[in-house]
Amino acid sequence: MAAFLLLLFFATLSNCLAANIVMIPMFGRSHHLFVSRLGQELAERGHQVKIYVGASQSYAVNDSLVRVFNDDNFLPVLQSSPRSSETFKSYSPRQGWQMLSMYQSVYCDDLLSNTDVMDEISHADLVVGEFIYLCSTLVADKFSLPHVLIAAISLDFISAFAFGLPAPPSYIPQFGVTLSDELTFSERARSLFQWIFLYVSYIYDLCPTFEKIKTKHNITPDKSIQETLGTVDMIIGQANFFIEKPRPLYPNTRVVGPFLASPAKSLPDELDQFVQKAGDEGVILVSFGTVVGAMSDSLLKIMAETFSKLPQKIIWKLKPSDISKLTVSDNIKLLPWLPQNDILGHPKTRLFIAHAGLNGVLESAYHGVPMICSPFFGDQSRNAQVAKQAGFAEVVDLDVTSAEEFVSLIQKVLTDPSYREKAQRISKSVQLLPRSPVKEAADWVEYTQVQGGLQFLRPRGLDLPFYKLFLLDVLFVVLLVSVVVLLVIILMFRSVIRSLSRSSRKEKVN
Q: Evaluate if residue 1 carries a pLDDT over 60.
A: no
> What average pLDDT does range 183-208 have in this prediction?
86
> What average pLDDT does range 290-296 have in this prediction?
63
Single-letter amino acid, residue 462: L
220-254 per-position pLDDT tens digit:
999 999 889 888 999 999 876 778 778 888 899 99
Residue (of 230, 49, 25, 237) closest to 135 by Cα position: 25
Q: Evaluate if residue 446 carries a pLDDT over 90.
A: yes
pLDDT at 183: 81
366-405 per-position pLDDT tens digit:
999 999 999 887 778 888 988 998 999 999 988 778 888 9
Residue (of 52, 64, 25, 50) closest to 124 by Cα position: 50
Residue (of 328, 274, 337, 333) closest to 300 by Cα position: 328
Helix (H, G, I), strand (E, B) or coil at 390: coil
Residue (of 347, 341, 344, 350) closest to 413 by Cα position: 350
Could you give the count of Cα atoms lying within 13 Å of 422 in the half-sphere of its Cβ?
18
What CA–CA distances, in Å, run from 228 to 140, 173, 326, 353? 9, 28, 50, 40
Helix (H, G, I), strand (E, B) or coil at 172: coil
Residue length of the chain: 510
Task: Check: CB of residue 384 under 8 Å from CB of residue 395.
Answer: yes
b vs e for 128-151, b when ≥16 Cβ sit within 10 Å of the residue's Cβ?
bbbbbbbbbbbbbbbeebbbbbbb
pLDDT at 377: 78
Q: Please indicate whether residue 201 or residue 240 has the higher confidence score (pLDDT).
A: 201
395-442 per-position pLDDT tens digit:
998 877 888 898 999 999 999 999 999 999 999 998 888 899 999 999
H or E element, residue 86? helix 85-90
Q: Helices then strands (H, E): number in the chain?
A: 22, 13
**Complete DSSP assignment for 26-48:** PSSHHHHHHHHHHHHHHHHTT-E
Q: Identify the sign of the CA torsion 216, 222, 226, 231.
A: negative
| CA–CA gap between residue 113 and residue 488 (Å, rounded) | 65
457-480 per-position pLDDT tens digit:
888 777 778 788 788 899 999 999
Q: Evaluate if residue 98 carries a pLDDT over 90.
A: no
Q: What is the pTM of this model?
A: 0.85
103-126 per-position pLDDT tens digit:
999 999 999 999 999 999 999 999
pLDDT at 348: 95
Helices marked H in 143-266: 159-162, 185-201, 207-216, 225-229
The average confidence (pLDDT) of the chain is 87
| CA–CA gap between residue 62 and residue 85 (Å, rounded) | 29
Q: ∠ CA(32), CA(36), CA(38), 5° rounding?
A: 130
What band does 292 get if pLDDT is binned at 50, 70 and 90? low
Q: Evaluate if residue 360 carries a pLDDT over 70.
A: yes
H or E element, residue 24? strand 20-24
Single-letter amino acid, residue 263: P
pLDDT at 8: 54
Q: How far apart are the first and last CA of the chain?
A: 90
329-338 per-position pLDDT tens digit:
889 999 988 9
Task: Check: CB of residue 198 under 8 Å from CB of residue 191.
Answer: no
pLDDT at 494: 87
What CA–CA distances, in Å, run from 352 to 341, 348, 413? 11, 12, 10
